[in-house]
């Protein structure tokens, strides 16, 4: 698990992930803004198949916790961040408590 800014040059959107990411009421603009800050992130080993998948957790602009699953793809020399799924984490949930506990610990900087 690391904390830091995720290195990429642009986003990779198409109809598939565009619609899927908005299924939980989060806009594309919110997702793109979310990645402009330091985030807690880690590899999603359970769902990684032919490409590595990652999970990022942090606070959205409205201060609610947000979870985004994503992958990084290369297009020439460009690293593209492709969001797969996005949703808010409910207040007082187990996920929120785990996030807050992890944030208290020293983490590797990414």
- Give the mean model confidence (pLDDT) for residues 91-105: 77
Position 78 scores a pLDDT of: 95
Per-residue pLDDT at 8 exceeds 70:
yes
Number of independent structural domains in the chain? 1
Summarize the confidence of residues 18-44 as an average pLDDT.
91
Give the Cα separation of 59 and 95 in Å (integer): 13
> How confident is the model over 21-36, as a mean pLDDT?
93
Q: What pLDDT score does 50 carry?
A: 81
Other CB atoms within 10 A of residue 77 CB: 6
Tokens of 66: 């947000």
Tally DSSP H helices, then E strands, for the chain.
Answer: 3, 7
Q: Beta strands 10-11 and 78-88: pairing type? A: parallel
Which residues constitute the domain of residue 85? 2-109
The residues pairing with 58 across neighbouring beta strands, listed in sequence order, are: 66
In this predicted structure, what is the pLDDT of residue 10?
A: 96
pTM of the model: 0.85
- The CA-atom distances, in angstroms, between 39 and each of 50, 75, 80 are 24, 24, 17
């Amino acid at each position: 698990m690391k904390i830091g800014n995720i290195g990429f040059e642009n986003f990779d959107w198409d109809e598939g992930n565009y619609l899927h990411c908005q299924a939980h009421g989060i806009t594309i603009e919110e997702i793109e803004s979310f990645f402009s800050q330091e985030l807690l992130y880690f590899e999603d080993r359970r769902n990684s198949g032919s490409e590595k998948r990652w999970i990022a957790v942090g606070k959205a602009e409205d201060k609610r916790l947000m979870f985004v699953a994503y992958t990084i793809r290369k297009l020439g020399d460009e690293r593209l961040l492709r969001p797969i799924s996005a949703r808010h984490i409910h207040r007082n949930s187990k996920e929120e408590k785990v996030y807050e506990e992890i944030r208290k610990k020293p983490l590797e900087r990414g």
